[in-house]
A and B are shown apart, each in its own frame.
Chain A
Amino acid sequence: MIPELGHFALALACVLALAQGAVPLLGAQRRDPRLIALGPPLAAGQLVAVAAAFAALLWSFAVNDTTVLGVVQNSHSAKPLLYKLTGTWGNHEGSMVLWVLILALCGGAVAGFGRDLPGALQARVLAVLGLVGVGFLLFILATSNPFARVWPPPADGQGLNPVLQDPGLALHPPLLYLGYVGYAVTFAFAVAALIEGRVDAAWGRWVRPWALAAWAFLTLGIALGSWWAYYELGWGGYWFWDPVENASLLPWLAGTALLHSAIVVEKREALKVWTVLLALLAFALSLLGTFLVRSGVLNSVHAFASDPTRGVFILALLALYVGGAFALFAWRAPAMAPTGVFAPLSREGALVLNNLFLCSICAVVLVGTLYPMFADLVLGVKISVGPPFFNAATLPLAAPLILAMPLGALLPWKRARLWPVLQRLWWAALAAAAALLLALALAGERVWPALGFAAAVWLVAGAAADLADRIALFRRPAAAWARARGLPRAAWGGALAHAGLGVTCAGIAGMGLATDALVALKPGESARLAGYEWRLEGVRDAAGPNWTARRATVTVARDGAAVAVLEPERRFFPVGRETTTEAAIHTNGLRDLYVVLGEERDGAAVLRLHHNPLAPWIWLGAAVMALGGGLSLSDRRVRVAAPAPKGAPAPA
């Protein structure tokens, strides 16, 4: 009964979304306030319906209802309740329902928080969100029904994929989707602006919080996925340039560019057409990511070709939304005359440079991700594009971007001179140079990690110099505290996010100095790595709720003093007949000691030992970036009503 109710709620949501996509749009075109006023209630109705469907699905998983196909395939009564619930979105159908739920939440938020929006703009934004929702609800109803029944019901589910039973992975999809779908809102604003033919500072002020929120969530989602890969997959790496990872990085790059160009629209009313284009691009790349992950095209283009229903459906949605939006763009964009004029050397110019580099990196990653599929389908050649390609192609673009970041943040609007900015940054440059020399001296002339440390110090010191300049710390120290309190939170947030990237840079540079060793040890024997003595005490059997394991005990000592006891495991799951390795990690914030247990032979256990300097900083930096985004979002100016557009007629 409950699954049927959920299915009905989904269908109801689809109808409501269709109405939300049509009625307010019509109202805005005809300037009919009654039709416009229907937008928010319809959005609220769609939200309630989708939430009901999602709740029904959660309930089916929670009680392990084995008459539901999705539960049979993806759940099992032996799972802890938490993982039963998170398993709701750990599969294709459920994750699509989550996608639509977050979209409906965004629609509800635009309806609820957007009361100060001009009525016609809000109506059009809600209509575009409704149309996006219709497409994806139709996709779920037509190809991926999460409530499909099986009869007779099997005794228990089959799904107990051990790798997926993890808190990090449980949180990863919702965060990622909050980012992806957040860009649906900026997309809707961009399309609405194209229909109206007007982009102004008020529009920029409305778009920026959405771009910020989506960006912060996407940053957290990507970082969480990377952290999960690091501790769960046991390869000791944190980023593999895997197509699934790239699919989330692409909208992040476009979204970061959007975040910065929206500032220019808000403050200076320049770069309007470009910002609208970026908003379209960010959502297009989000949809592309959804297509890549959800269509199965990544596993094999041929598997995709043999069961193309889902993939073709998403591809059609992608073509419809992106193609439609770009056609609208080609038609309406020339009408949006640029107004703000600026010299190349100015804050605006620096932000253009930022956009240029971010979009170039985005294009390179896109080509590297899609080319293997293209080559397989069209040329019939099987190739793969690995980390060496991405490192070689993106680093030369990232380096000037990082070099320019602190400079750009200090440039004044409209017209600037370089010399005063350099004067404020000399000590940051000096610190970066010192870091470079120090790293070269200490780490034995390893150039790339040393450059990474220099970049990290440059970014963090540059952000500090930016704040010091704004609160006049050196010019008038007595008043600095008062000025710091008066400084808008957006300024703090921006500086914090830039510094966060510096922290991540330091972590990546530290991982560039990571060392590992592969050893076969008998109990009582020990190996040396990175100045530590790693001693295998023994290997014994262990058992968990649904697995048995071999567990090694490794004690790590430095100069005779014990540092850590690590217990890596190889787990065997009888239900799925799968083996996983559980890496053991000891961190003190500055370095990770990381041990993986391999196979055992002739009384010896094969161990892979890793010493990863500064590894946790990679994700710490991402968290700081997201915190900066959140701080910016809490700025008073974001929350208070946007000013009425200049020279605009009274709201409809």
Chain B
Amino acid sequence: MTRKRRRLAILLLCGLGLGSATALTLAAFRDNLVFFLSPSDLAAKPPPADRAFRLGGLVEAGSVERATGADGRPTARFRVTDGAHAISVVYAGILPDLFREGQGVVTLGRLGPDGVFHASEVLARHDETYMPPEVADALKRAGHWDPSQGAAPPAGGWNTLSPRPGG
């Protein structure tokens, strides 16, 4: 095999490898990218029914109900709010240690046909004063918090706030 043909073969092989890696990445991206949505985003433009996404906001004060499901698994129902909109979430599993009413939470799951978000994961594994950055961002977008006006208002009262006009 001459040097030229060998070089060509190696180039072809590299192209093949790179091409298949790109194709695999793009295909996997199409099916598996997980978007972060706030309750307001959901109200504005609901995603396709079978698509998993992350929903984040504050756990609405007084909304948490715990029960034991028919199969003996503990379940929890609560509402996630960004001040402007709220959405019901149902989760079967152990809630994280730092899950509290009025605290920031990020959940992963799918939206059911009944408009209830079925969470497969609930993340709240930070300290008590920590706000997940996505949640902080969602609160700002919902018009409830202008960072230039100082720290966020106490989380417990978020579900009673009404959006500021033009916020």
The chain A residues found within 8 Å of chain B, CB to CB, are 299-300, 302-303, 341, 343-344, 352-353, 356-357, 359-361, 363-364, 367-368, 371, 381-386, 388-390, 392-393, 396-397, 518-520, 527, 570, 576-581, 596, 598-599, 601, 606, 608
Contacts and interface: CB of A to CB of B under 8 A. Distances in A.
B97 A392 contact: no
Contact of A396 (B13, B14, B24, B108): B24
B73 to A, nearest CB: 5
Contacts of B72: 519-520, 527
B34 A384 contact: yes
Residue of B1, B9, B66, B97 contacting most chain A CB atoms (<10 Å): B97
Contact of A344 (B9, B18, B27, B97): B9
Given A382-B35, A393-B28, A520-B74, A356 B13 contact: yes
Given A299-B133, A382-B137, A580-B97, A397 B36 contact: no
Contacts of A361: 21
Contacts of A518: 73-74, 92-94
Given A518-B73, A599-B94, A385 B128 contact: no
Given A299-B133, A386-B34, A601-B66, A392 B24 contact: yes
Contacts of B73: 518-520
Which A-B residue pairs are the 9 nearest by beta carbons? A598-B94, A382-B36, A300-B133, A360-B21, A389-B32, A393-B28, A579-B97, A392-B28, A356-B17
B133 A303 contact: yes
A388 B27 CA distance: 12
B95 interface: yes
A302 B133 contact: yes
Nearest to B19: A360
Contacts of B33: 383, 385, 389
B74 A352 contact: no
Contacts of B98: 579
A383 B133 contact: no
A382 B25 contact: no
Contacts of A360: 17-18, 20-21
A161 to B, nearest CB: 10
A608 B96 CA distance: 13
B50 interface: no
A338 to B, nearest CB: 8
B54 interface: yes
A386 B34 CA distance: 7
Contact of B21 (A341, A363, A382, A598): A363
Given A352-B13, A601-B66, A392 B32 contact: yes
A628 B33 CA distance: 38
Contact of B34 (A364, A383, A570, A601): A383
B149 interface: no
Contacts of A382: 35-36, 134, 137
A389 B28 contact: yes
19 contacts: A302-B133, A352-B13, A357-B17, A364-B24, A367-B25, A383-B36, A384-B34, A385-B32, A385-B34, A388-B28, A388-B32, A392-B31, A397-B20, A518-B74, A518-B94, A520-B68, A576-B127, A578-B127, A598-B95
B3 interface: yes
Contacts of A343: 1
A10 to B, nearest CB: 32
Interface string B68-87: 10001110000000000000
B94 A383 contact: no
B78 to A, nearest CB: 14
A539 to B, nearest CB: 15
Interface in B38-90: 54, 66, 68, 72-74
Given A392-B24, A598-B95, 8 more contacts: A356-B13, A363-B21, A385-B29, A385-B33, A392-B31, A396-B24, A606-B74, A608-B94
B95 A599 contact: yes
A368 B25 CA distance: 8
B164 interface: no
Contacts of B4: none
A361 B24 CA distance: 10
A361 B68 CA distance: 43
A382 B141 CA distance: 13
B161 interface: no
Given A397-B20, A520-B72, A384 B54 contact: yes
Contacts of B151: none
B18 A577 contact: no
A96 to B, nearest CB: 24
Given A352-B10, A383-B34, A392 B27 contact: yes
A160 to B, nearest CB: 13
Contacts of B137: 302, 382
A290 to B, nearest CB: 22
Interface in B73-127: 73-74, 92-95, 97-98, 108, 127
Nearest to B73: A518
Contacts of B93: 518, 608
Nearest to A161: B127
A519 B24 CA distance: 39
A227 to B, nearest CB: 19
B36 A364 contact: no
A301 to B, nearest CB: 8
Nearest to A607: B94
Contacts of B127: 576-578
Nearest to B98: A579
Contacts of A596: 94
A359 B74 CA distance: 45
A598 to B, nearest CB: 4
A388 B74 contact: no
A361 B127 CA distance: 35
B139 to A, nearest CB: 13
Contacts of B134: 382
B50 to A, nearest CB: 13
Nearest to A596: B94
A608 B93 CA distance: 8
Nearest to B14: A356
A563 B25 CA distance: 45
Nearest to B35: A383
A359 B34 contact: no
B99 to A, nearest CB: 9
A397 B29 contact: no
Residue of A393, A599, A601 contacting most chain B CB atoms (<10 Å): A393
A490 B119 CA distance: 51
A548 to B, nearest CB: 14
Nearest to B1: A343
B77 to A, nearest CB: 14
A57 B20 CA distance: 49
A341 B2 CA distance: 9
B24 to A, nearest CB: 5
Given A344-B9, A386-B32, A518-B74, A359 B17 contact: yes
